[in-house]
Amino acid sequence: MSVSTDKPSFDSAREHLGKIYAKGLLGAAEGQQVTERVLAELDSLVDDVLDKLSDFEQLLSSPRISVEEKQRVLEAAFATRMSPVLLKFLKVTARHGRMDCLRQVRSAAHTLFNEMRGRVEISVETAEAINSLLMSQIQQRLTTALGRQVELHCRVNPQLLGGLVIRVGDTVYDGSLENQLARMRSETLDRAAQLIRDSLQRFLVTQ
């Protein structure tokens, strides 16, 4: 069974678990000062292994496979290629039967790590692909405006027509042409309707 959905599914319970496990992982990694390496390995584990070998992911998350079996497989597969902190973490996660939350752990770990380092993740949407010069300018301006280090994620969305949309956390700064046109339309219609209501005679055809 291979489930491939375009939309990333969201499960608030798993999201919550992911946060707790990510906190534990980061705590352990910080203690040995290998956090960046561990995060990179976790990224590669999800992107290069789990995404490509869905059977392997199922094996890890299946409740039918015993914990000992899972730990043995993990040991055999990663013992030489992975930092010991991450391997231990995976074994603990397997023992708790939470291997299905690995993706959530990964995203939560990145968010937490950025917070710890005082970095903000910002997504920028534009109508057309922007060149690196413009991108570095945007990055510089945002860094000074927010007073924190900025990690940019760019996305192209032709529906915007022009301008750009910046998203910091849950706050969206929308300077897109699409949004401006929509707002101009609704405001103009509202005002014109109000004007017609206030002075109806002006708009009637006199016969």
Partner 1 sequence: MRFNADEIASVIQKEIEQYESQLDVREVGTVLDVGDGIAHVYGLSNVMSGEMVAFPNGVNGLAFNLEESSVGIIILGNYLDINEGDEVRSLGQLLSVPVGEAVIGRVLDPLGNPLDGKGPVITNERRPVEFLAPGVAGRQPVSEPLQTGIKAIDAMTPIGRGQRELIIGDRKTGKTAIALDAILNQKNSGVKCFYVAIGQKDSSVAGVIKILEDHGAMDYTTVIVSGAASPAPMQYIAPYAGTSMAEYFMFNGQHALIIYDDLSKQAVAYRQLSLLMRRPPGREAYPGDVFYCHSRLLERSAKLSKELGGGSLTSLPIIETLEGEVSAYIPTNVISITDGQIYLQPDLFFAGIRPAMNPGISVSRVGGAAQVKAMKKVAGGLRLDLASFRELEAFAQMGTELDPATQSRLDRGYRMVELLKQPQYQPMPVLDQVLSIYAGTRGFLDSVPINQVAAWEKAFLAYMHDRRQDVVDELAQANDLTDGVVAKLNAAINDFKAGYKPTTGATAAR
Q: Nearest approach, Cβ of 182 to partner 1 (angstroms)?
A: 10
Residue 140 carries which side chain, given as an amino acid letter?
Q
Residues 6+ apart with CB under 8 A from 160: 125, 126, 127, 176, 177, 178, 179
Q: Nearest approach, Cβ of 165 to partner 1 (angstroms)?
A: 9
- Binders in 167-196 for partner 1, by CB under 8 A: 167, 169-175, 179-180, 183-184, 187-189, 191-192, 195-196
Indicate whether 204 belongs to the interface with partner 1 (CB under 8 A).
yes
Q: Judged by CB under 8 A, how many residues of this single chain contact partner 1?
A: 30
Residue with tokens 């409740």: 63
Q: Which of 127, 121, 176, 135 is nearest to 156 (CA)?
A: 127
Which residues does residue 111 pair with via DSSP β-bridges, in sequence order? Answer: none
Q: Are 125 and 165 in contact (CB under 8 A)?
A: yes
- Binders in 116-175 for partner 1, by CB under 8 A: 167, 169-175
In the structure encoding, which two tokens stand for residue 44, read together? 């590669």
Among 115-123, 125-133, 147-155, 198-206, the segment contacting partner 1 (CB under 8 A): 198-206
Indicate whether 20 belongs to the interface with partner 1 (CB under 8 A).
no
Q: Are 151 and 165 in contact (CB under 8 A)?
A: no
Which residues does residue 75 pair with via DSSP β-bridges, in sequence order? Answer: none
Indicate whether 16 belongs to the interface with partner 1 (CB under 8 A).
yes
Instruction: Identify which of residues 35 and 176 has a Cβ nearer to partner 1 in the complex.
Output: 176
Binding site for partner 1 (CB under 8 A): 7, 10, 12, 15-16, 167, 169-175, 179-180, 183-184, 187-189, 191-192, 195-197, 202-205, 207
